[in-house]
Structure 1
Amino acid sequence: MIKLELIVPVQAEQCIALLKRMPKGHPVRPIVEKDLRVWLKGYYGELNVAYHLSFLPEDEYYIFHGLRLKDKKAFQMDLLLVSAKFALIIEVKNISGKLKFKKGSDLMTRELNNLEEGMDNPIQQVKRHHLQFNNWLKYHQFKGIPVERLVVISKTSTIIETTPDNLHIFQTLIYAESLMDKMRELETKYTKPRITKKVLSQLSDTLLKEHHISIPDVLQKYNLSQSDIKPGVQCPNCRSFKMKYISASWRCDECHFTSKRAHLSAIKDYFLILNPTITRKQLAEFLQIEPVKARHLLFSLKFPSSGTKRGTKYYLPKNCILCPLNENDMKKGEFFT
């Protein structure tokens, strides 16, 4: 049973929002495009792994995609599977080329197109998540649950290479096509329930309660300012920023398309790029409408808020991303130069 759905990473959503609203010739644009391709590649790798997991019996496993918890520091697991018998942390990698692992090294080397580069070792990464998740379980008083860990390479075209004295890595490093075989191996290892169904349900509820999406500061990351970001509402039809709010509806001066919800994507862009909170005045300036209309829109969205009158600040509900992207949206590729 899927408890936390796989979604497009927040960082990819941020890159897309930036590319929509940055000038075509901005010097930072190629960097953002490169980062977006990396985030989307990781997402598609997780989609591939999710396909293999779809063969698991729904009544035995709870599946969490992108679960972000906090130990001493926050950590995010690509995949967490929890059953009454064991839990499994999975780190998914969608990397092309040849991956070389050296015994005792915290680095992995990737060889592609006759070039080599050092990369973070995903085996070390999943080890850290394993330690942090065990600490989390202990803190929340969930005892007796054995926790396993895996690194899953999403494509069989990726070559994995290591030395003869380091072959033990293949106990925790597999291809996605071998995932169901590994699950059967774990089911053979753990034959008896370690927790009751009631405790399993309590654990699931606590995981969802403690999960929190983080929205990084992309202006700081890319050394941008608000002046680099184009305001306004983008037309869903022709992609121009010539929409005007008239009689509770948005109308595009370019193609004459009308929409009552076009502002939602713009408000999402604001939260993704500029600020975790928004005031009536800030919304009016960003959507380029009168403050009284901004007040009406904010009232209709029923966002959580703090403060009073004109100083009221509104923010997204916990773990909410307005109008999240779907796979078809991303395939259009309109955000690339």
Structure 2
Amino acid sequence: MRIKFRIIPLPLQKYDAVIPRMPPQFPKLPELKENAKKLSSGYSGELKVDYHLGMLVNSYTILDDVYLHIHGSNFQIDSLVVTNHAIFIVEAKNYKGTITFDTVLKQLIRSDGKIESGFEYPITQVENQTYHLRNWLQHHNLSHIPIFYVVAIADPETVIKVDGNREEIGKVVAHAARIPKMIRDKDDAFAQAGKPKIEDYKIGKLILRECRDFDINVMRHHEITREDLLPGVICSGCGMRGMKRIHGGWLCKKCRQKSHNAHRNDLANYLLLYGSITNKECMWLLGLTSRSTATRILQKSGLVYVKECKCWTKRRK
């Protein structure tokens, strides 16, 4: 059973929210777009791996995007598969072209046929994740549970090469389609050896209760201020910013699309970036001239007014 599902990462949601509001000449705009591109590629690869791990949902407990805290440190794992006898860390990698694992220098090299690029060594990455997870399990009196890891290459067209110990890499690295069988074979071997079973669902629920959401403050990280942002309701049809307020809705001056609730996405993105919004900020963001219109829109958006800060925010679940 899959008890934790993957969502679009919060940092990626924030990049997607802020980039359309940056001036074309903003000096950090290329950096913002590059970060968003990397996060989007990683997320796409994780979804491809999730598809193949779906073969295991009837047998084991699966958690996607696990983010835990132990001894003052946070650690993130793309997917955890809790089987009948062990826990498997699944690290998803979405590389294109040809990748080479250098087992001597502990580095990964990717080639697209023209340029070679170096990347963090995935084996070192999952070894560090294993270390943190082992400490976390020990803290919860579960140190008896074996931990294994696999690196799933999301794109089946990616060519995998090894410079060094091929057998070492072959045991833990494979295209995503082969990962379920690797996990099942390992678990079956434990069963045939008479190893004690673990309560996979119960352990999965414990991990789920302790999970946090990985997030970063994109605005602070890139030193972006509110003054850097451009106002205006963004048209969902053509992407133009600055829809005109008309009776009962909005009109795009470029493609002439009409919408009753075009502002909702803009409000949601602003709250994603800042957590709350005032009437004055709402007027600026949506290009309104009437305070009462801003108040009415905020009231109808399902937000709650907080007197202490004179702002609007989401309802608590």
Please indicate the TM-score interval, normalised by the length of the shorter structure. 0.7 to 0.9
Shift of 1:90: 0.7
* Residue of structure 1 in register with 2:284 after alignment: 285
Return closer, same or farther for 1:125/1:278 CA change in 2, 3 Å cut-off: farther
Shift of 1:92: 0.6
Is 1:221 equivalent to 2:221 in the alignment? yes
Return closer, same or farther for 1:185/1:227 CA change in 2, 3 Å cut-off: same
* Maintained 8 Å contact 1:89/1:147: yes
Counting aligned pairs with the same residue, the percent is 26
Is 1:10 equivalent to 2:13 in the alignment? no
Distance 1:140 1:26 in 2: 48
* Residue of structure 1 in register with 2:62 after alignment: 63
Distance 1:142 1:285 in 2: 53
Alignment of 1:153-192 (within 5 A): 153-165=153-165, 167-191=167-191
C-alpha distance after superposition, 1:79-110 (max 9, x if no partner): 11123432211111011233233335343222
C-alpha distance after superposition, 1:4-52 (max 9, x if no partner): 2222333332332233212334443333333333222222222221221
Amino acid at match of 1:286: L
Is 1:194 equivalent to 2:197 in the alignment? yes
* Residue of structure 1 in register with 2:38 after alignment: 38
Q: Identify the range of structure 1 (296-305 vs 158-167) with the bigger mean alpha-carbon deviation.
A: 296-305
Amino acid at match of 1:69: L
Is 1:126 equivalent to 2:98 in the alignment? no
* Maintained 8 Å contact 2:99/2:111: yes
Shift of 1:243: 3.3
Distance 1:139 1:297 in 2: 48
TM-score in terms of structure 1 length? 0.79
**When the two structures are aligned, how many residues end up with a matched partner?**
311
Distance 2:140 2:309 in 1: 41
Return closer, same or farther for 1:161/1:216 CA change in 2, 3 Å cut-off: same
Return closer, same or farther for 1:80/1:300 CA change in 2, 3 Å cut-off: farther
Shift of 1:219: 2.7
Amino acid at match of 1:62: T
Return closer, same or farther for 1:201/1:312 CA change in 2, 3 Å cut-off: farther
Alignment of 1:1-337 (within 5 A): 1-56=1-56, 58-71=57-70, 72-165=72-165, 167-191=167-191, 194-196=197-199, 200-244=200-244, 249-254=248-253, 255=255, 257-272=257-272, 274-289=273-288, 290-301=290-301, 308-312=307-311, 314=313
Amino acid at match of 2:284: E
Shift of 1:315: 5.2
Amino acid at match of 1:50: D
SS in 1 for 2:145: coil
Q: Which runs of 5+ in 1 are unaligned?
A: 319-337
Shift of 1:301: 4.9
SS in 2 for 1:179: helix
* Residue of structure 2 in register with 1:325 after alignment: none
Amino acid at match of 2:107: L
Return closer, same or farther for 1:5/1:138 CA change in 2, 3 Å cut-off: same
SS in 2 for 1:18: helix
Shift of 1:206: 3.2
Return closer, same or farther for 1:64/1:303 CA change in 2, 3 Å cut-off: farther
Return closer, same or farther for 1:216/1:250 CA change in 2, 3 Å cut-off: farther
* Maintained 8 Å contact 1:145/1:194: no
* Maintained 8 Å contact 1:144/1:195: no
Return closer, same or farther for 1:62/1:263 CA change in 2, 3 Å cut-off: farther
Distance 2:166 2:108 in 1: 13
Distance 1:250 1:232 in 2: 14
* Maintained 8 Å contact 2:90/2:152: yes
C-alpha distance after superposition, 1:206-237 (max 9, x if no partner): 33333222332223433433222122321223
* Residue of structure 2 in register with 1:324 after alignment: none
SS in 1 for 2:116: strand
Amino acid at match of 1:222: H
Distance 1:141 1:278 in 2: 44
Aligned-residue Cα RMSD (Å) equals 3.0
Distance 1:187 1:229 in 2: 52
Distance 2:206 2:129 in 1: 18
Q: Identify the range of structure 1 (180-189 vs 84-93) with the bigger mean alpha-carbon deviation.
A: 180-189
Shift of 1:149: 0.9
* Maintained 8 Å contact 2:65/2:78: yes
